[in-house]
Structure 1
C-alpha cells in the first residue's frame, strides 16, 4: 500500500512540495500518495484536515505558523499515532538564535507583492518577448542569453531562470545560418551554449514531430545532419569562449542551477 503523505500549509505549499520531491526521489520505487492541503488559516479549515487525517493516516509534513492551528494538528496526530514534522522549525530556531530575535510568524510572507515579486513578473515577460531569437533589440537588458540548436531546453530554462528574477533570452542556432551579430556586441550578458548528444536530440525531435503529426524522417532528425549541427554549435561556443552546458542528462533545474552558479562567479548572483 502507498504511504499517505499529508502536506499541510498555511500558504501555497510550495516549500513542502520542494522538500517532498527532493526526499521522495531518494527512495526509488516508493509508492507515496500525496494529500495536499494549502491556505489552512482557520480552525474550521484545520478541523476538516484533522478529520481527513484520521480517515487516511500516514505521515504529516506541515508549515503552519499560527499556534492554535498547530496545537489542533499536533493533538490529532498524537491521538491517532501519526508522525508529524514541522519542516521549517529547525531552520527558524537556528535563525532566531543567530539573529538574536524571534520570528514574526506571519504566514505566506515569502509570497508578498514586494520588489522581488515584480522583478520576477518583469523577467517572465522579458523571457517570453525574447524567446527563440525574438526581441533582439531588447538583448542589452539580458542578464543571461542561452544559445543552442533546436530542442536543447533553451525556452524552459529561460522561464525557470525568469521565475528566479533573472532576465534570460535565448537564440536558436540554425544549420547554414549565421548567428545574429548582436551576440558579439553584448557586454553585460552571460552567454551560455547549451548542447545535447545527437542521439537524445534525435529522440526528442522525433517526439516533437510525432506530437505535431508531422513526418518523422527529415533532415531535422537525420543522424548525420544532427551530428553536424551539434559539432558546429560546439565549434562556435569554443571560438566565442562561451561556457558550455551539456543538458543530455540534466533536468531544467540542474541546468539553471549551473547557470546561476556562473552568474555568481561573475558577482551577479540572484538575491
Structure 2
C-alpha cells in the first residue's frame, strides 16, 4: 500500500476519533507507507454523511467515526455498508452497552465531553485565582474577580475563597485592617460583587484567643483584646457603609452555609443587573 487514508468523522470536533486513529497508527512503523488523516467535524445531517462517504470512496479511505445521534449513526452505518467501505464505529458499541447496563436513555448530545473538560479547567483556573489573590496580595485581581470578600482577621475569608473556587467562582479576599488603606480600585467595581463578612465581638474574641493558644502565645495579646476587636469592627462597618455592599453575619455559620448564601446573593445580583440591562 502506497498511502493509508483515514477519514475521521464526528458530530463534535472529532478529537476523540482522531486520537484513537493516531493511537492505532502509532503501533506500526511510520515508514511502512504514507499516512493521511482528514477530519470532518460537526456531522449533523444526512448530506454531511453522504459527503464523507463519497470522499472515502474516491480516496479509498477508512472511516473512523464518533456519532452520538442514533439516526445519523444508523444512516452512516447503512451508507458505509452499501459502499463497502472499511470503518470503525468508536461510539456506537459503547453507547449500546452503557444504555443496557444503566437502563437509561442517553442525552444523545454531541460535544458533552468537551463541555465537561471546559468546566474542569474553569474550576482549576478559579482555584489558582483564589490562591494568587488571597489575603489582598495583588489588587490588580479586583477587576477580574467574580466575588470579592471583605473581612477582618479570622472571618474565614481564605477557606470561603477556596470553597467558592471549587464552584468555579473567581474569588479575591481583602483583609480589613484599620492601619491599612484599602486598594483604590476597590471603590471602582460594582458593589454587588462585594460581600462583607461580619462577626460578633464575642465570637471573634473566642476564636482569636484560641488561635493565639495554637501559636503558643498568651491570650492577652492585643490581637485578641476587646478594645482591638472593637476598633477593627468599627473600621469594618465604616468601610462597608462607604462601599454599600452586602453584609453577611458569619458568627454562627459553617463555611458551606456562608458559601451558599454568597452564591445566592451573587446570582440574584447578576440576575437583577441582567434584567435592568434588558429593560433599558
TM-score (norm 2): 0.55
CA gap of 1:252–1:66, structure 2 versus 1, over 3 A, is farther
Deviation at 1:175, TM superposition (A): 2.4
Q: CA-atom RMSD, angstroms?
A: 2.8
Q: How do residues 111-190 of structure 1 correspond to structure 2 at under 5 angstroms?
A: 114-187=117-190, 190=193
Hey, what's the Cα distance between the residues in 2 that align with 1:188 and 1:148? 15
| Residues 26-47 of structure 1 deviation map (CA, whole Å, 9 limit, x = unaligned) | xxxxxxxxxxxxxxxxxxxxxx
Deviation at 1:114, TM superposition (A): 1.1
Tell me the residue number matched to 1:203: 206
What SS does structure 1 have at the residue aligned with 2:242? helix
Asked if the contact 1:142/1:189 (under 8 Å) is kept, the reply is no
2:223 is the counterpart of 1:220:
yes
Tell me the residue number matched to 1:255: 258
CA gap of 1:268–1:135, structure 2 versus 1, over 3 A, is farther
Structure 1 residues 132-141 or 162-171, which shifts more? 132-141
Deviation at 1:268, TM superposition (A): 6.2
Tell me the residue number matched to 1:191: 194
2:273 is the counterpart of 1:266:
no
Deviation at 1:225, TM superposition (A): 1.7
Structure 2 gaps of 5+ residues are 1-97, 273-280
Asked if the contact 2:191/2:244 (under 8 Å) is kept, the reply is no
Bigger-Rg structure (1/2): 2
Asked if the contact 2:198/2:247 (under 8 Å) is kept, the reply is yes
Deviation at 1:138, TM superposition (A): 2.3
Larger helix proportion, structure 1 or 2?
Answer: 2
Deviation at 1:235, TM superposition (A): 2.1
CA gap of 1:67–1:209, structure 2 versus 1, over 3 A, is farther
What SS does structure 1 have at the residue aligned with 2:195? strand
2:249 is the counterpart of 1:246:
yes
Hey, what's the Cα distance between the residues in 2 that align with 1:153 and 1:140? 22
CA gap of 1:189–1:135, structure 2 versus 1, over 3 A, is farther
Hey, what's the Cα distance between the residues in 1 that align with 2:185 and 2:271? 22
Deviating beyond 4 angstroms after TM superposition, the runs of 4 or more aligned structure 1 residues are 65-68
Structure 1 gaps of 5+ residues are 1-64, 71-88, 93-101
Aligned length: 172
Hey, what's the Cα distance between the residues in 2 that align with 1:188 and 1:179? 14
Tell me the residue number matched to 1:13: none
What SS does structure 2 have at the residue aligned with 1:220? helix
Hey, what's the Cα distance between the residues in 1 that align with 2:246 and 2:270? 16
What SS does structure 1 have at the residue aligned with 2:224? coil
CA gap of 1:228–1:118, structure 2 versus 1, over 3 A, is same
Asked if the contact 1:140/1:189 (under 8 Å) is kept, the reply is no
